[in-house]
């Protein structure tokens, strides 16, 4: 069961969703830059939740601002770790010059980016696979947009799926995700042995992990 109401913070209005369950504790969760979810018990009132939110405004402010920054960044055009301004021009070719990318249309830019993503991911997969001393399969590559994961290892059919959003990051980050997924052919878990394998092939992998969390 759910109830909703509006809540103002720093002059901005947010939608609050009260998720009513048969539980003792109350939890605040923020999934996007516009909505605050509060899981609570059936007896909690709107007034109770407003009081709780007021007590936790510093936390709300911090998380909501981070969500807004993330949303703004996702709406900008990044390619291999650099941000570009998109300039629509009356010629057919796509060109990158400085911090600008020139394209005849958004549709053509999307197709170009898809082609670049496929070619680059295939190239990096080949390179990263060549690093491994273990006898691991050369996986089939799949590319798709994923909301919550950067990569997936499918051991059953010896394939690896990479998030298409990785093209926004530099080569080092792309290589980390590929090495992470290839390491699952050695250890199909996240044990200490698995992370030692990742570290062996990318000693500074933690930098990539932190950047992907931002």
Query: For 161-172, what is each residue's pLDDT tens digit?
Result: 999 999 999 999
Average pLDDT over residues 76-87: 94
- Which domains are delineated in the chain? 2-75 (no CATH), 106-213 (3.30.2010.10)
pLDDT band at 70 (very low <50, low <70, confident <90, very high): confident
Q: What average pLDDT does the structure give for the chain?
A: 94
Lowest mean pLDDT among 4-18, 66-80, 105-119, 192-206: 66-80
Q: Report the pLDDT value the prediction gives residue 25, as an integer from 0 to 100.
A: 87
| pLDDT at position 73 over 90 | no
Q: Is the dihedral of CA 69, 75, 81, 87 positive or negative?
A: negative
In this structure, what token pair is assigned to residue 167? 């093209």
CB-based contacts of 175: which residues, under 8 Å, 6+ apart?
A: 124, 127, 128, 202
Q: Report the pLDDT value the prediction gives residue 161, as an integer from 0 to 100.
A: 98
Distance CA 105, CA 98 (A): 19
In this structure, what token pair is assigned to residue 45? 């009132």
Bigger pLDDT: 1 vs 168: 168
Helix/strand/coil (H/E/C) assignment for every residue in the chain: CEEEEEEEECCEEEEEEEEEECCCCCEEEECCCCEEEEEEECCCCHHHHHHHHHHCHHHHHHHHHHHHHHHHHHHCEEECCEEEEEEECCCCCCEEECCEEEECCHHHHHHHHHHHHHHHHHHHHHHHHHHCCCCCCCCEEEEECCCCCCEEEEHHHCEEEEEHHHHHCCHHHHHHHHHHHHHCCCCCCCCHHHHHHHHHHCCCHHHHHHHHHC
pLDDT band at 72 (very low <50, low <70, confident <90, very high): confident
Q: Report the pLDDT value the prediction gives residue 71, as an integer from 0 to 100.
A: 78
| pLDDT at position 214 over 80 | no
Task: Say how many CA atoms lie within 13 Å of 78 toward its Cβ.
Answer: 17
């Amino acid at each position: 069961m759910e109830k909703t109401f509006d809540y103002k913070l720093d002059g901005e209005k947010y939608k609050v969703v009260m998720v009513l369950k048969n539980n003792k504790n109350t939890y605040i969760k923020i999934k996007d830059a516009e909505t605050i979810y509060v899981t609570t018990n059936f007896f909690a009132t709107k007034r109770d939740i407003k009081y709780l939110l007021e007590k936790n405004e510093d936390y709300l402010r911090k998380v909501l601002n981070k969500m807004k920054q993330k949303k703004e960044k996702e709406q900008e055009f990044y390619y291999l770790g650099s941000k570009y301004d998109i300039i629509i021009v009356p010629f057919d070719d796509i060109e990158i010059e400085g911090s600008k990318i020139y394209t005849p249309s958004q549709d053509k830019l999307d197709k170009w980016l898809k082609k670049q993503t496929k070619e680059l991911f295939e190239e990096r997969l080949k390179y990263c696979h060549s690093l491994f001393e273990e006898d691991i399969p050369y996986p089939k590559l799949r590319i798709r947009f994923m909301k919550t994961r950067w990569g997936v290892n499918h051991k059953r059919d010896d394939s690896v799926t990479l998030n298409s959003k990785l093209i926004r990051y530099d080569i080092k980050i792309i290589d980390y995700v590929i090495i992470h997924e290839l390491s699952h052919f050695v250890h199909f878990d996240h044990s200490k042995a698995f992370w030692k394998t990742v570290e062996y092939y990318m000693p500074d992998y933690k930098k990539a992990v932190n950047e992907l969390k931002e």
